[in-house]
Amino acid sequence: MKTFISATILAISFLVLTASKPEKGYYNEIYRPQFHFSPEKNWMNDPNGLVYYDGEYHLFYQHNPNGNEWGYMHWGHAVSRDLVHWTHLPKAIYPDNQSEEKEFCTAFSGSAIVDHHNVLGLQKGDDKTLVAFYTSYQCGQRISYSTDRGRTWYKYAGNPIIPYQENDDARDPKVFWYQPGQHWVMVLYRRPDTDDRKKGVSFYTSQNLTDWEFTGHIPGFYECPDLVELRVNNRPDDTRWVLFDGDGSYLIGSFDGKKFTPESIKMKSDFGRNYYATQTWSNLPESDGRTLQIAWMKGGEWPNMPFNGQMTFPSELSLKKFNNGIFLIRQPAREIELLHEKGEVWKDKNLIPGLNENLIKKVSGDCLHIKGRFDLKNCDAFGFMFRTGKKSNGTELLYSVKRQTLSVLGETVPVEPIDNKIYLEILIDRASIEVYVNNGRINLSNCFFPDEGSLGYQLFNTGGELLVEELEIYPLKSVWRSGK
């Protein structure tokens, strides 16, 4: 049944995407992501307006329709029913005041909610109004709305809802409903009095989505804030609020609907070099029970591609209590399994350096899902070589037992074994590697651009034995019709 549903969604997606037969190479360029979201063409950065409504996940994003560089910002738009197959829709939000400038009054980042109780009084028919909050650069915080499930967007007549102030740099509003206080909350990046020491997140409340009261400010943050409540160890009676910065770093604390009180130091959620502007989806069904997040893979270059930018794969967030505190856990959304092709599984394989052949020598491809549990036994190091070939040694992922560090693509992070074991989950696409370490406790998101035709993989260990307790490797189907 799942296979049938996925195939149906795939067919519908491409009917919407193209009115005629697409070109042979459509979404099949050498560095075109096959299961990560990317725009059809031109520049893309921050995810915006993540909202779920009527069976659809909406993904908006910063988009320059004029070229492959930053500027002239609009909100691009796509929808999905399963978080993996995306249908492109027309641009949703245009610059204000008919601006044709690179920055002035263009549509910067923001968020979206569902107006369930018709607070704005704009609903037509049975469809609830979708409300997007965004920064119109140097033109204030503004609203755009849709009354037809996000297909058509209109500017709110009362804009701006928070006027522009020359001595501030206010932008990137994230709005959500605070149930205990029965009011809306906005978290907004600001730089009051143009003072860099005050750069941080301000908090506002509202009853009607248009009149906002300032309630507090916390310094030490820069751009694209987000604030979510998460369970600790999945216990409904034990929750904390997590305040995210633009780079994905976070504070854990309490929130009373008006002010955030930190209970931790600021911590990194991703140690890779291509991870920025994290946002979570609003209005997810209670029956789903998850908090879903996505980020822009900042800093990638995608050489000679018609597009510039891709998102991370959506992830599931939770909090877990350890001996040294509470930490964020991030793991790939379970929908990745919809793309599994027939894979291979190895169990209880003892690897001795110099005696064993490459355990995964038959593995080949440019899109893989790898899950493994490794007992370090007495080895000095172990790791993988990704995308090897006749003319390429590939990209190395290395765990050093002595240093207790994991390294990939020039980034190194401390990783302590769990009962002498290391857990790895890895997503490899044509232009990215995402590594989830020890069940999502540590994460690294990186872009990479391997040689065309280099499709091999190696698993190695040095200095002693390594026990592969379990290793699963699944090739992943392309989400685009002409994919692989």
What spatial distance separates the first Cα and last Cα of the chain, rounded to whole Å?
Answer: 23
What is the model's pLDDT at position 1?
Answer: 47
Give the chain's mean pLDDT: 94
**Is residue 12 predicted with pLDDT exceeding 80?**
no
Residue 272 CA: distances (Å) to CA of 38, 200, 264, 445: 19, 23, 22, 5
pLDDT band at 96 (very low <50, low <70, confident <90, very high): very high
What is the set of domains in the chain, with CATH numbers? Answer: 2-335 (2.115.10.20), 340-475 (2.60.120.560)
Tell me which of 49 and 391 has the higher pLDDT. 49
Rounded average pLDDT over 235-239: 95
**Lowest-pLDDT choice from 12-21, 80-89, 147-156, 444-453:** 12-21
Share of the chain above pLDDT 70, in %: 94
- Which tens digit of pLDDT belongs to each residue from 162-190? 999 999 999 999 999 999 999 999 999 99
pLDDT at 9 (0 to 100): 42
**Tens digits of per-residue pLDDT, 61-89?**
999 999 999 999 999 999 999 999 999 99
pLDDT at 14: 43
Position 481 confidence tier, pLDDT thresholds 50, 70, 90: low
Banded model confidence at residue 262, pLDDT cuts 50, 70, 90: very high
Distance from C-alpha of 428 to C-alpha of 434, rounded to nearest angstrom:
7
Question: What's the CA gap between 49 and 64, in Å, rounded?
Answer: 17
Q: Give the per-residue pLDDT at 354.
A: 82
DSSP β-bridge partners for residue 261? 254
List residues with catalytic annotation.
46
pLDDT value at position 13?
44
Task: Report whether 146 contacts 89 (CB < 8 A).
Answer: no
Degrees, nearest 5: CA angle 278-282-283: 165
pLDDT for 72: 98
pLDDT for 23: 53
**Spatial contact of 435 and 264, defined as CB atoms under 8 Å apart:** no
Place of tokens 């050093």: 400
pLDDT band at 24 (very low <50, low <70, confident <90, very high): low
Distance separating alpha carbons of residues 40 and 304, to the nearest angstrom: 14
pLDDT tens per residue across span 353-406:
988 789 999 999 999 999 999 999 999 999 999 999 998 999 999 999 999 999
